[in-house]
Amino acid sequence: MELKTNSKKQVVVIGGGFAGLNFITRLEKSPDFHITLVDKNNYNYFTPLLYQVATGFLEPASISYPFRKLFKGYEISFRLGEVETVDPALNKVYLTGGQELSYDVLVFAAGAQPNFFGNESVMKNAITLNGIGEALFMRNQLIKVLELAASEKDPIEKRKLLTLVIAGGGPTGVEVAGMLAEMKSSLLLQEYSEIKDESIEIYLVDGADSLLAPMSTKTHKEALRILEGIGVNVKLNTLVTQFENGRVQLSNGQTIAAGTLIWAAGVVANTFEGITKSSLGHGNRMVTDSFNRVKGYHNIYAIGDISIQHGDLNYPDGHPQLAQPAIQQGKRLASNLVLMAKGKPMAPFDYFDRGEMAIIGRKFALVDLFKHKVHIGGILGLLSWLFIHLLSLVNYNNIIKTMYGWGMAYLTRDQPLRMIIKPEKRGESINVTDNLLKSRQTYLVEN
């Protein structure tokens, strides 16, 4: 069944993250287009703060908001689902559940997923952080580890349970390590009397020779000093090669007995059936021209983490897979489609690097601005990090909830969100959902 709306040009957007949402909010002001967003979730979430949900400092509602509520009052359509295949010849997108959309313009903004580099043992056993669901799973697992350790009698098994390894020294890995170090310094003494005399061992492993590699040399040194100062064991120039049966094998030959491996060692772009492999570049990112048009297609575009441009001399290997390039590409593409609709030439994308930042624990933030020309640390860095992240949330509801969560955690050195919450009768729920989808598909075929 084909969705019909009106005579406006139909723009289908795959993914409602930074790139997709900024594209939509800019383009919806134009009377020449009708926008349909497709996403596997019915909400937008703020990716840079996922780790704070995973470590119990924020609730999911603090960093997420329903798409339909965001679009209330606007002529924007939303479809819950995932892309099964694309037919560029017919200008059609086929979604799960038998949905079918026609498009004049197709925009991919579907982001990326964890890259395990072909390591099966890590893929099967490690914890990843790539959405609200995974953040809640990680939170549950961390709490379960503490509960198991509290009742464990075998000292060797208890030590393994209380040892955590984080693979990846980028912003996610560094920030997770900082938050876990905060938890171990206060949580055990407050609530876990059975293991208060034990210590949680945290390892941060990265294959590069510095942490936060894209940032300045000064930041590299400060991040290492701060993490080691709060008790994190940092291992550089080292890779995780295997994780099975509670043992993390490293490339330097060392083995760490650990109950938990958190994988934050890189991402690979999502791919879609119907888009030719010749249009894909490094990390499966869609190769685009300076207008974000995908190589080999005249009306398909890609923005954000899923796209890669080679024309920018300052970024010959493509723009970094961060929030700012995604936001700027979304806005630029929307403006270009408006120009094109008016018969005017489009403007090439020109990335303005506003800087990068990371926070470590509750006291330390490191900020590099304007291509590393300005470095900020200390209390000013912390305030800058807080201000910029609050400003980036989608609405005042998220801002207020996040400010409250941060304030309480900072003042009390406590995280109240430590309930293990999981769905019951999971298999039954999946069967019910599958039956509903099958019934819908049968109805569409018969009608």
Write the pLDDT tens digit of every residue in 144-173: 998 999 999 999 999 999 999 999 999 999
Q: Tokens for 2, please give them.
A: 């084909």
CA-to-CA dists, residue 275 to 222, 271, 287, 307, angstroms: 43, 8, 11, 13
Tell me the CATH number at 317. Answer: 3.50.50.60
Q: Is residue 177 part of a domain?
A: yes
* Same-domain pairing of 160 and 253: yes
**CA nearest to 90, candidates 182, 2, 209:** 2
| Residues recorded for the chain | 447
* Same-domain pairing of 202 and 139: yes
* Same-domain pairing of 247 and 287: no
Supply the pLDDT for residue 189.
Answer: 60
pLDDT above 50 for 401: yes
* Same-domain pairing of 257 and 276: no
Supply the pLDDT for residue 6.
Answer: 55
Residue 284 φ/ψ, nearest 5 degrees = 65, 15
* Same-domain pairing of 92 and 138: no
- Domain hosting 202: range is 120-265
Cα separation, 28 vs 24, in Å, equals 6
* Same-domain pairing of 180 and 254: yes
Q: How many CA atoms lie within 13 A of 272 on its CB side?
A: 29
Q: What are the beta bridge partners of residue 308?
A: 287
Q: Is residue 239 part of a domain?
A: yes
| More reliable by pLDDT, 259 or 378 | 259
| More reliable by pLDDT, 59 or 431 | 59
**CA nearest to 138, candidates 431, 422, 338:** 422
Q: Is residue 425 part of a domain?
A: no
H helices present in 323-395, as ranges: 323-341, 378-392
Place of tokens 């019909």: 4
Give residue 252's identity as a one-letter amino acid code.
N
- pLDDT interval class at 444 (50, 70, 90): very low
Tell me the CATH number at 221. Answer: 3.50.50.100
Q: Tokens for 317, please give them.
A: 């290997």
pLDDT above 90 for 396: no
- How many structural domains comprise the chain? 2
* Same-domain pairing of 225 and 290: no
Cβ distance 60 to 135 under 8 Å?
yes
Supply the pLDDT for residue 87.
Answer: 98
Cβ distance 51 to 181 under 8 Å?
no
Of 117-131, 186-200, 375-389, highest mean pLDDT: 117-131
| More reliable by pLDDT, 328 or 3 | 328
| More reliable by pLDDT, 114 or 385 | 114
Domain finish residue from 265, 298, 327: 265
132 burial via Cβ count (<10 Å: 0-12, 13-18, 19+): middle
* Same-domain pairing of 218 and 277: no
Which residues does 434 contact at the CB level (< 8 Å), separation at least 6?
none
pLDDT above 90 for 45: yes
Q: Is residue 172 part of a domain?
A: yes
Cβ distance 71 to 83 under 8 Å?
no
β-bridge pairing 260-263 and 356-360: unpaired
Lowest mean pLDDT segment, chosen from 193-197, 296-300, 366-370, 391-395? 391-395
pLDDT above 50 for 430: no
Q: Is residue 3 part of a domain?
A: no
* Same-domain pairing of 127 and 250: yes
Supply the pLDDT for residue 414.
Answer: 61
- pLDDT interval class at 176 (50, 70, 90): very high
Give residue 361's identity as a one-letter amino acid code.
G
What's the mean pLDDT when you consider all of the chain? 87
* Same-domain pairing of 110 and 86: yes
pLDDT above 60 for 427: no
CA-to-CA dists, residue 140 to 136, 300, 416, angstroms: 6, 40, 13
pLDDT above 50 for 325: yes
Supply the pLDDT for residue 408.
Answer: 64
Supply the pLDDT for residue 373.
Answer: 73
Lowest mean pLDDT segment, chosen from 122-131, 200-209, 230-239, 306-315? 306-315
Domain finish residue from 265, 284, 303: 265
- pLDDT interval class at 441 (50, 70, 90): very low
- pLDDT interval class at 199 (50, 70, 90): confident
* Same-domain pairing of 13 and 100: yes
Supply the pLDDT for residue 190.
Answer: 72
Q: Is residue 412 part of a domain?
A: no
Helix %, strand %, coil % of the chain (to 5): 40, 25, 35
The total of other beta-carbon atoms located within 10 Å of residue 308's CB is 22
| More reliable by pLDDT, 441 or 388 | 388
Distance of CA 268 to the CA centre of its chain: 12
Give residue 300's identity as a one-letter amino acid code.
I
* Same-domain pairing of 173 and 259: yes
| More reliable by pLDDT, 369 or 413 | 369
| More reliable by pLDDT, 388 or 360 | 360
First to last CA, the chain: 9
pLDDT tens digits, one per residue of 56-67: 888 888 889 999
Cα separation, 63 vs 54, in Å, equals 12
pTM, to two decimals: 0.87
Q: Is residue 71 part of a domain?
A: no
Q: Is residue 33 part of a domain?
A: yes
- pLDDT interval class at 410 (50, 70, 90): low
Cα separation, 152 vs 159, in Å, equals 10
Cα separation, 436 vs 209, in Å, equals 51
pLDDT above 50 for 270: yes
Domain finish residue from 265, 289, 310: 265
Which residues does 118 contact at the CB level (< 8 Å), separation at least 6?
none
